[in-house]
Amino acid sequence: MKIIEDRRALHRIPELDRDLPETMNYLENSLKGLKCAVFSPTEGSLCAFFDFGRDEAIAFRADADALPITEKSGVPYASAHPGKMHACGHDGHMAILLELARRLSDKADLPHNVLLVFQPAEETTGGAKELCETGLFTEYRVKAIFGLHLWPGLPAGAVCSREQELMSRSCEVNVDFYGKSAHIAKADQGIDALAAAVEFYTRAAAMEKALPAHIFRLLKFGKLHSGTARNALSDHTHMEGSLRAFQDEVFFGMRDSLLSIAGEIEKATGCRVQVHMNDGYPAVMNPGDLYRKVRETVAFETLAEPSMTAEDFSWYQRYLPGMFFFLGLGDTPALHADNFDFDETILVKGADFFEELAEKFQ
């Protein structure tokens, strides 16, 4: 099948961030001869516009960048670029959109025009935001945008989504504690940066736990490094973690609480505490009115709970109505694993779903 050929060809040439020359060349060559206008609004991006003579359009998005991972899948179509791999399914996303493009090119009429968007830098700096800022979706009068992500663990071939919370806002949390080293026999002459970090961790965990149970959120620390010797107080402790939530008020409220806790620790211990947190991507929130409209148009399964992972599709939703879906892969290696692979026939399910949406959405 051509969709599988596309996926394997793209899998062999993974590229990072916005530096996607081989990928863009493959996409552009694949779109040649189809009844669409092809153009590149930003570095590392490509769009295909199918004009059916309508006043408005809908859009479909695929991300195009790979990850800095050395592939160990052992498949015959493995990465030809050392240290780079399509370990998050973006090659599959692109193959689905190329298949959709071929099907659109064969259609005589649709209730709207269609814009296909191949986007860079999903894994790094959020290429979606840059595309939105070009005015692309206003220029082509796009009334809604749709995207999907291949998803291990869900039933193979099942298209799934949910209203409102789908994927979380996420930011990195780095905390540094600066104290004063002293031999533990003379601990009163020092300032213990490790003890300050432990107190910060304890209070931060209690803050997160105290939030109401119905609020989806996460605050965890996975890395801590402190000190140089067992018999000396640490003069520097470094912690790294992640903060995730869906509603902005919850997310920024938790960030403010971490800063307040840091200030309290400084006063109580004498350590200097520096907290660095980025804004991350917004949460992927499927708006209720669009969700219900799509639910009445095409069939898909409902997820009971959202994912605490992040996705820059959320930027599109800040600029126009947008809905995101998961396409189940069944029992496969995890996303971002160096042996990630899947049953490629499942990609046809994604193309079928997008085609039905393109035909029926009003």
Q: What does the pLDDT look like over 169-226, one tens digit per residue?
A: 999 999 999 999 999 999 999 999 999 999 999 999 999 999 999 999 999 999 999 9
Checking if the pLDDT of 96 tops 90, the result is yes
The reply to whether 46 and 29 lie within a common domain is yes
Checking if the pLDDT of 312 tops 90, the result is yes
Who contacts 212 (Cβ-Cβ below 8 Å, separation ≥6)? none
- Helix, strand, coil share (%) of the chain residues, nearest 5: 35, 25, 40
CA of 244: how far to CAs of 154, 206, 207, 218, in Å? Answer: 22, 16, 14, 5
Which CATH number goes with the domain that contains 88? 3.40.630.10
Question: pLDDT for 41-57, tens place per residue?
Answer: 999 999 999 999 999 99
Q: What's the pLDDT at 280?
A: 83
The reply to whether 80 and 148 lie within a common domain is yes
The reply to whether 151 and 81 lie within a common domain is yes
Q: What's the pLDDT at 279?
A: 82
Last residue of a domain, one of 230, 251, 277: 277
Is residue 330 packed enough to be buried (19+ CB in 10 Å), middle (13-18) or exposed (0-12)?
A: middle
The reply to whether 136 and 261 lie within a common domain is no
Per-residue confidence at 70, pLDDT binned at 50, 70, 90? Answer: very high
Which CATH number goes with the domain that contains 181? 3.30.70.360
The reply to whether 268 and 325 lie within a common domain is no
Question: pLDDT for 231-284, tens place per residue?
Answer: 999 999 999 999 999 999 999 999 999 999 999 999 999 999 999 998 888 999
Q: Average pLDDT over the chain, rounded to whole?
A: 97
Last residue of a domain, one of 224, 250, 277: 277
**DSSP 8-state symbol, 85:** B
The reply to whether 121 and 247 lie within a common domain is no
Question: pLDDT for 132-164, tens place per residue?
Answer: 999 999 999 999 999 999 999 999 999 999 999
Q: Do 184 and 233 meet the contact criterion of CB atoms below 8 Å apart?
A: yes
Phi-psi region of 164 (alpha: psi -120 to 50; beta: other; left: phi over 0): left
Nearest to 291 by CA among 214, 247, 216, 357: 357
Checking if the pLDDT of 83 tops 90, the result is yes
Q: What's the pLDDT at 330?
A: 98
Domain range for residue 335? 2-166+283-360
Q: What's the pLDDT at 66?
A: 98
Question: pLDDT for 275-286, tens place per residue?
Answer: 999 888 899 999
Who contacts 91 (Cβ-Cβ below 8 Å, separation ≥6)? 7, 10, 11, 14, 66
The reply to whether 305 and 199 lie within a common domain is no
For the chain, what is the domain count? 2
Q: How far apart are CA 328 and CA 333, in angstroms?
A: 13
Question: pLDDT for 105-117, tens place per residue?
Answer: 999 999 999 999 9
Checking if the pLDDT of 287 tops 90, the result is yes
The reply to whether 273 and 191 lie within a common domain is yes
The reply to whether 314 and 297 lie within a common domain is yes
Amino acid at site 39: F
Last residue of a domain, one of 212, 244, 277: 277
